[in-house]
Structure 1
C-alpha cells in the first residue's frame, strides 16, 4: 500500500472542520421557510458533518492525523469540543479501553442489551455534567445572536442525531451478537458509497480493529 503523506491527515481534518463550520454558519443565519424541503435535507447534511468531527477526533486518538503529537492532539481536543463540549483526554482513555477490552465488562462501548439500553449505557459512559454545563452556556450565548429555531434545528438536532449515527453504524451493528474473531466485530459488505455516508467507512469495523492506525479516509483500501 502506498505510503501516506504525513501532511494529508491534517489537510483532511481541516477540510472536515471547514465544511462543518461553513455549513453551520450558513444554516444559523438562514431565513428559511418550513415548507422548503431543503431545510430537512440540511439537517441530515449537518448531522453527517458533526459525525465527521467525531470521526476526526477518533483518528486523532489513533495518532493518524499527524506524526507531530502536539498537532495531532490539538486537533483532537478542538474537534471533540466543537462537537459537543467533550474533553479529548477522557474520550481517548475510554476509546483505547474499548480496543483493549472489546466485548467484555471492561469495554465502555459494550452493553449486552437491546438497542436503546445499549445506547443510553453508551451515552452515560461519555456524557458528563461539566459537558452539559458547557453546552447550556454555549446555547444561551448563541441565542443572543442566532434565531432560536435555527439554533435548535441546525445546531442541537444534528448533533443529537449524530450520536445515533455514530452509535448505530460504528458500535451497535459491528459489535452486537457473537462473532468468530478476536475483535468481536463484523463488517459492512463492500460498498464504499454506503460505507462513507453511513459512518465515514467505520461500517468496515473489523478492518478498523485489525488496522486501527489506518485513518478513516484510507480505511476503504483495507476492504479492497
Structure 2
C-alpha cells in the first residue's frame, strides 16, 4: 500500500508537470492559472512527503536500498536537494526536537515567522543544490521552447508558473504546517514541552499538507506512514475523551 500510494504521488507530480508545460495556461484565465499553480504546489509537496517517509524507511521497508533510492529521486525532483544531508538533518530533528540541536528550530527563539522560515531553508540549501535546481529549470525552459510554439520568454514564464512558484509555495506550506505551527509552542518551554498536532479534520489535514500537521502523532509514532496518521490522531483524541469522562 505504501509503495503504491507514494508511487501515485510521484506519478502525479510528473504528469501534472508535463501537462502544465504542454498547455496554454499562460494565455488562459487568471482563475485557471491559479488552480493549476495550486495543484502543482500540492503535487510538489507530495514529493517531499514521499522523501520524508523514505527517510523513515516506510516507502519500501522490505527493500531498504530501493526505499532510499525512491526517496533520493523524490527529493532531487522536489528541489535538487541532497537526500543524505536532508536525512541527517531530519534525524537530528527527531532526536532533539525544540532544542538548540534541532536544525529546524530557530537559534533565536524570538525570531519572527519569516526569519525562522529563512533560517529553516538555509539549513537544507547549499550552493550545489541551487546549481542543480537552476540547471533543471533551464532544461525545462529549453524543452518547453523546443516542444511547443512558445518563445523563449513564454517558455520561461511557463516554467516560472508551474515549476518555480509552486516550489516556493510548497516550501512555505511544509514550513508553516509541518514546522512552525506544531513547534512554535516550544519557544515557551513552560507552555508546551512537545510538538502539537493541528486540530484539523482528516480531509482538511490531507489538503493542508498530507497530514504533516498531525505532528505529535508523527513524533510519537515515526514508523507510521503519512496516510496512517489520521488513525493515530483519532486514537489519541478518543483516549483524551475517555480520560475526561473518567474524571467527571
TM class, shorter-length: over 0.9
Tell whether 2:4 aligns with 1:11. Answer: yes
Alignment of 1:59-208 (within 5 A): 59-67=53-61, 68-111=63-106, 112=109, 113-146=111-144, 147-178=155-186, 184-208=194-218
Alignment correspondent of 1:28: 21
Alignment deviations for residues 116-162 of structure 1 (CA, whole Å, 9 cap, x no partner): 11000000000000011111112222221211111000011101110
Of structures 1 and 2, the larger Rg is shown by: 2
Tell whether 2:43 aligns with 1:45. Answer: no
Tell whether 2:213 aligns with 1:220. Answer: no
Question: Normalising by structure 1, what TM-score?
Answer: 0.93
Regions of 4+ moved over 3 Å: 178-182
User: For structure 1, which runs of at least 5 residues remain unmatched after alignment?
Assistant: 1-7
Alignment correspondent of 1:5: none
**How far did residue 34 of structure 1 move?**
4.2
The RMSD of aligned alpha carbons is 1.3
8 Å CA contact 1:190, 1:223 repeated in 2: no
Question: Normalising by structure 2, what TM-score?
Answer: 0.84
**How far did residue 181 of structure 1 move?**
5.8
**How far did residue 189 of structure 1 move?**
1.5
8 Å CA contact 1:28, 1:150 repeated in 2: yes
In the comparison of the two structures, how many residue pairs are matched?
A: 216
**Secondary structure, counterpart of 2:139 in structure 1:** helix
Distance 1:72 1:88, change over 3 A: same
